[in-house]
């Protein structure tokens, strides 16, 4: 077993721990936007609130619908449960990883609301992390579901029709 495999755990346990570290790091990090004055932030408040509400709602719906469609196979680990079936309908016809997408869109909503460089940096790290975690998960899904390769060609990973 390679060092990377041991660090990740057999079923991706360490990836879940890293995900929690990123989440709490994002939540606990103070906003930092040195170029903006309070007057500019105040003037932009209606737009910032609209973006937060719209993207935040989209993120919640994406996560809720994604969870609902795979409720029988849902696990915090990226390794699929033994009895899983490949879900390709509903939100899974638009994105392969709506639960990861929902977290990224929620973080983006906060970044655009707070205009924080620190949160933007963590969002970029989070995107790279979820891209890696999803890749590991997809490797395991390809082993179990031969049709998964075709599914990846038709459906975007995180952002419908884009990525």
Paired tokens of 28: 């606990």
Return the sign of the alpha-carbon dihedral for residues 41, 45, 51, 57: positive
Which of these, 32, 29, 53, lies nearest to 41 by C-alpha position?
32
Which of these, 38, 26, 146, lies nearest to 86 by C-alpha position?
146
Query: For the chain, which residues make up each domain, given as ranges?
Result: 55-74+89-163
The mean predicted confidence, pLDDT, of the chain is 92
pLDDT at 40: 87
Q: What is the mean pLDDT of residues 24-52?
A: 93
pLDDT at 38: 83
Q: What is the mean pLDDT of residues 122-140?
A: 96
> In this model, does residue 34 exceed pLDDT 80?
yes
> In this model, does residue 7 exceed pLDDT 60?
no
Give the tens place of pLDDT for each residue, 101-126. 999 999 999 999 999 999 999 999 99
Which of these, 131, 123, 133, lies nearest to 29 by C-alpha position?
123
Q: Which residue has the higher pLDDT, 77 or 9?
A: 77
Which of these, 41, 91, 39, 50, lies nearest to 70 by C-alpha position?
91
Q: Kindly state the percentage of the chain with pLDDT values over 90.
A: 77
Give the tens place of pLDDT for each residue, 39-90. 888 899 999 999 999 999 999 999 999 999 998 888 888 888 888 899 999 9
């Amino acid at each position: 077993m390679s060092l990377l495999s041991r660090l990740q755990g057999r079923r991706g346990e360490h990836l879940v721990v890293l995900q929690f570290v990123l989440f709490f790091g994002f939540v606990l990090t103070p906003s930092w936007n040195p170029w903006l004055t309070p007057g500019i932030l105040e003037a932009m408040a209606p737009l910032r609130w609209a973006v937060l509400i719209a993207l935040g709602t989209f993120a919640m719906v994406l996560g809720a619908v994604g969870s609902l469609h795979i409720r029988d196979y849902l696990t915090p680990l990226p390794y699929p449960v033994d009895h899983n079936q490949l879900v390709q309908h509903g939100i899974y016809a638009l994105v392969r990883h709506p639960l990861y997408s929902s977290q990224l869109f929620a973080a983006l909503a906060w970044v655009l609301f707070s205009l924080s460089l620190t949160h933007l940096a963590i969002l970029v790290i989070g995107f790279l992390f979820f891209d890696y975690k999803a890749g590991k998960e997809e490797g395991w899904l390809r082993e179990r579901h031969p049709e998964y390769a075709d599914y990846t060609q038709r459906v975007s990973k995180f952002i419908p029709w884009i990525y």
